[in-house]
Amino acid sequence: MKDIPQRTGNFLKAFESEATGSMHSPAGRLIWSSLYTPKPTVRDGDRLAHQCALLIPADADTKPLEAKIRAVAKDKWQGKLPSGTHLALKKTASNDKLAPYAEEYPFYINVKKNERDKHDALNKAPQVVGPGRKVEEVTEADEYDGRWAKVAFNVVAHEVKGNKSVSFWLNSAQLLWDDDVISVGGSAPSAALEFEAVAMPAASESSPEGAPATATGGDEPTPVQSSDSIFG
């Protein structure tokens, strides 16, 4: 893990914004992140969504979020949270791909915003800002699994054909500190993280503008095969 600033205050706990009414997550690590470009959802592959999962550190306070889940469940079903309700707050150990991270990040959340609403009209994409709360600070190239982030979302209880769920509907996200890439399957690091920048030589005067210079004279050289080549 890279050196991350000490997380205090609202970076260390979930809370409900007095200004907007949105729930805010503690700072966590992005997983399966597609905040900018919507991708198929796990539960409904025919539907695209802006979405991510967020690994929540062990020292973070999730109690306000758990209280909010109970509150919306009580309003929806006139009682306590029904047994078997599908929750967007999950134990990391319950997911085989994430289980190796369970000790350091015991919980994770799933948040999403469908690309289209129930009337098939386009939804407005969630706003993504950088550490200074400015949109222009970050681009899609800055989004990768393992980066620290916070998300703001609505907590919504719903029921479809008897299946009860409490979901987190994504409103916005804040990309925070860089850290090591986390690869758990289902997504790939961005090309910007995979490759180093390379300085390209200036084009030769005898070559067309923008075209690489080519060798002159004789035939193309025959590649020399090493004795330990896999091709013999």
Task: Classify strands 163-175 and 127-129 as parallel, antiparallel or unpaired.
Answer: parallel
What CATH number corresponds to the domain at position 19?
Answer: 2.40.50.140
The verdict on residue 140 lying in a domain is: yes
Q: Are 123 and 115 in contact (CB under 8 A)?
A: yes
pLDDT digits (tens, 9 = 90+) for 2-37: 777 777 788 999 999 999 999 999 999 999 999 999
The verdict on residue 231 lying in a domain is: no
Q: Which residues 6+ apart lie within 8 Å of 11 measured at CB?
A: 26, 27, 150, 176
Residue the block writes with tokens 């004279």: 217
pLDDT digits (tens, 9 = 90+) for 173-191: 999 999 999 988 655 555 6
pLDDT digits (tens, 9 = 90+) for 87-102: 999 999 999 999 999 9
The verdict on residue 197 lying in a domain is: no
What's the mean pLDDT when you consider all of the chain?
84
The verdict on residue 188 lying in a domain is: no
- DSSP letter assigned to residue 117: -
The verdict on residue 28 lying in a domain is: yes
Cα–Cα–Cα angle for 178, 179, 184, nearest 5°?
125
pLDDT average, residue stretch 191-220: 58
Residue 54: how many other CB atoms lie within 10 Å: 25
Structurally, how many domains does the chain consist of?
Answer: 1
